[in-house]
A and B are shown apart, each in its own frame.
Chain A
Amino acid sequence: MASEVAQAYVTKSFLIDIITRDIGITEAILELVDNSLDRAVELFEIDVTKSLVEDYQFNAKLKLSEPITVNIRLSKNDFVIEDNCGGISREDLENEVFIFGNPKEDTNYNGLSAFGIGMKRAFFKLGKKVELYTTTEDEESAVIWDINEWLELGEENWNIPFSNVDDVSLEYEHELPGTIIKLEELNESVKSRFEQVEFINALKSRLKIGYALFIKSGVKILLNGEELTHNLPGFFTSEEIGYTSKKIKHKDVEIQLLAGISPVEDRTPRGWYVFCNGRMVLEADKTTETGWGTALPQFHPKFNHFLGFASFKSKNVKSLPWSSTKWGVERDSPVYLVALEEMHLQTTPITNVLDRWKDSKDDDDIPTIGLKELLRDGKVVSVFASAKAEATFEYKPKKERPDTIRISFIKDRSLVESVKEALGNPKMKNSTVGELVFDYYVESELG
């Protein structure tokens, strides 16, 4: 007899395929770091976005017995991430952590767990066997999850049983409670990447930049034993040049913008750094994502010294404009559109100055003083120590702009030679030809 309903459901293998498709190995690892830090942020009420405008060190304030640490070790055989961020409660493990797409409702902290899918898809991306041990102040739990076996259970049973804490091979070594996760039977593509020095270096850079504000605020992040440092650029300031600091609010999201000019010895092309709850989601962006080439002019080497930070903070993580992989922004989210307008507003005075002071030989505006000179007599202020809450980029040149400008152009050689002859001196300097021709125009056309 024909059924009265058409079957409709999601298969496990489809889900795994689809949720791991648009995430890279690096992003998957960062998802696990986000999970660790999310718990620390909740438990200790940490707000690393403060470190953009003040010298914020939460360890000292909280008087913890050891620094908050996330320790990552990886080899071709396994991947281990260990944190002392407070651990996961049994209740959360039972009712939340392993559910697909179950972001926390009504959180009251600036969390990093946005979509309720990060940890699971990181597991699927990396390996086939997961061991997890976690301890809180008053309980400990363990899970051993063989993903192949779980697939074989079919589509009816999605549950993951708890294990006996003595059955896991993991040794937790921190004073503060936390979690240790080990992935084994790594996927083939992952194994080969973990053996490449280039991959390890790229992962290191991404961790350093992605968690720069956390590292700066006192979080220790280790990769294969090496403690990572942050490397955020600072602003150049002087009597002539300042920076912008602006805070706006859109519904439940606070947006802090800082923008200015980076020092001359810093030759790295700059752009916008974008953070969501302290986690960096765009690094030195010079694309349409941050308005270049749309509201702002196309990014050009003359803007290399433009430096901007846009920090979004909200207790409602779903309002933040991060993309689902948390590397990139959701360009059309209302809060991001508002922020883009503010970024545009605050950026143009800076690009206008850089435009005027472009540091090139063909500078046709102010030939004698280039950007180098402008950026010589000031100091580099790490605004992250003591940025003003409200400041407007000002450019107050001490020197008057010279009243002369240089014009240079290219013309056909033989034509120039003919003009020289007509002017009566074939050995005349090319620049003199230009001047005489210009003067001739002024005299005959302007009177």
Chain B
Amino acid sequence: MPSFEKIDYFLRPSKQVERKLIIEALQKISKAGHYIHEYTYLGLGSIFYVDFLLFHKYLLIDNMICAERFNYPKRMDFNKPYEFIDLVMKPIGEVIQSINREKPYLIWLDYDFALDEDVLSDIRKCLHVIAPGSILLITVVSDLYNLTNLIDPVEKKEMNEQQQKQEIVMKLNELIGSHYGGEIAIKDIAPNRLPTIMASALRNHINSCISIRDDIEFFQLFNFEYRDNMNMLTLGGIVGNDQTHKLLEDAGIYKLKFVTDSEKPIEISVPPLTVREKNWLEKNLVKLEQHLVNNTDLPKDMPFEIKSELVKNFVKYYRHYPFYYETLV
């Protein structure tokens, strides 16, 4: 089932924060003379085309290709916001072979499932063909619940929770063990470890694929973990040479707090909030920020219950926090 049938794409605040952070970083790169608006965007728009709308409006990208593996061409075409989006009804892995190898691309492999053979294969294909300067973003589900898909469902019925975990660990080792560069253990699939393991495996896979090319390296920019309804992980960066790296440094990209070249993901989950809550938080930003420097707990006089982690993230990313209203149209 396509994930849009489960959740409205617009109503994912953390995902939206992620999109806006990426846009902010890419705008900075553009300002430094590396013009992102000349790029071609290849992504998985789904029927909402959210990233296409944003990347066109805020990154001024006109060349856009949307790949869709599910078979509803009319609906995809009907919802296409711009004529210039080239809709290709194929899995993205089959679109990569026809991209122009001379021109820079922004590719977002934005999957709604966990790391698997196809994900690794698509990454591999991208890194084989993309021109220097291209940007590759990969999003996967990093939820233990989704990893149970690795287990044979018939066998799964016979297993208790512990056995399932052991089986997942075994399957994960088969899949990404060689990329992770060590044995994955049961403790590694705990929710606080799993995103780092996934990010690390993705990084190593990317580096091993790119080592075959002698013209480019991968410079990581993004490593986000967030949760709307599932734990997600996004790893991304730009491929290029020493000059690209210098350009990134000159552009001040690494000074952005949400840009990292570390294997430890940056948590960007933000809470779903009511209008009143959001307004209150924004009004009290400075106070909250100061309080959170010295305390792990929230101030005692909080007018509503909320986790301190989420408030911390809200304080960091309030500029990118989306707000949704119901509108009668």
Interface residues of A (CB under 8 A from B): 295, 297, 334, 337-338, 341-342, 344-346, 348-349, 352, 392, 401
Contact = CB atoms under 8 A, between A and B. Distances in A.
B121 A352 contact: no
A344 B94 contact: no
A344 B124 contact: yes
A348 B93 contact: yes
Given A334-B212, A337-B212, A344-B121, A352 B128 contact: no
Contact of A295 (B71, B121, B129): B121
A349 B94 CA distance: 6
B98 interface: yes
Given A352-B91, A392-B98, A345 B128 contact: yes
Given A342-B128, A344-B124, A352 B94 contact: yes
B64 interface: no
Chain B interface main SS type: helix
Given A295-B121, A352-B94, A345 B212 contact: no
B124 to A, nearest CB: 6
B34 interface: no
Interface of B: 71, 91, 93-94, 96-98, 117, 121, 124-125, 128-129, 209, 212-214
24 contacts: A295-B121, A295-B124, A297-B117, A334-B214, A337-B212, A338-B128, A338-B213, A341-B124, A341-B125, A341-B128, A342-B128, A344-B121, A344-B125, A344-B128, A345-B97, A345-B128, A345-B129, A346-B97, A348-B93, A348-B121, A349-B97, A352-B91, A392-B97, A401-B71
B125 A345 contact: yes
Nearest to A250: B214
Contacts of A349: 94, 97
Contacts of B71: 401
Nearest to B95: A349
A155 B295 CA distance: 84
A266 B214 CA distance: 40
A392 B124 CA distance: 19
The 8 closest A-B pairs by CB, nearest first: A341-B128, A349-B94, A337-B212, A345-B125, A345-B97, A392-B98, A345-B128, A348-B93
Chain A interface main SS type: helix
Contacts of A338: 128, 212-213
B72 to A, nearest CB: 12
A337 B210 CA distance: 11
Contacts of A352: 91, 94
A212 B117 CA distance: 36
Nearest to A342: B128
B324 to A, nearest CB: 28
Contacts of A401: 71
Contacts of B129: 345
Given A346-B97, A348-B94, A392-B98, A341 B121 contact: no
A348 B95 CA distance: 11
Nearest to B101: A248
Given A344-B128, A349-B94, A352-B94, 18 more contacts: A295-B121, A297-B117, A334-B214, A337-B212, A338-B212, A338-B213, A341-B125, A341-B128, A342-B128, A344-B121, A345-B125, A345-B129, A346-B97, A348-B93, A348-B121, A348-B125, A392-B98, A401-B71
Contacts of A346: 97
A342 B127 CA distance: 11
B213 to A, nearest CB: 8
Contacts of B125: 341, 344-345, 348
Contact of A341 (B93, B98, B212): B212
Contacts of A345: 96-97, 125, 128-129
A407 to B, nearest CB: 13
Q: Which of B93, B94, B214 has the most CB of A within 10 A?
A: B94
B96 to A, nearest CB: 7
Nearest to A341: B128
Contacts of A297: 117
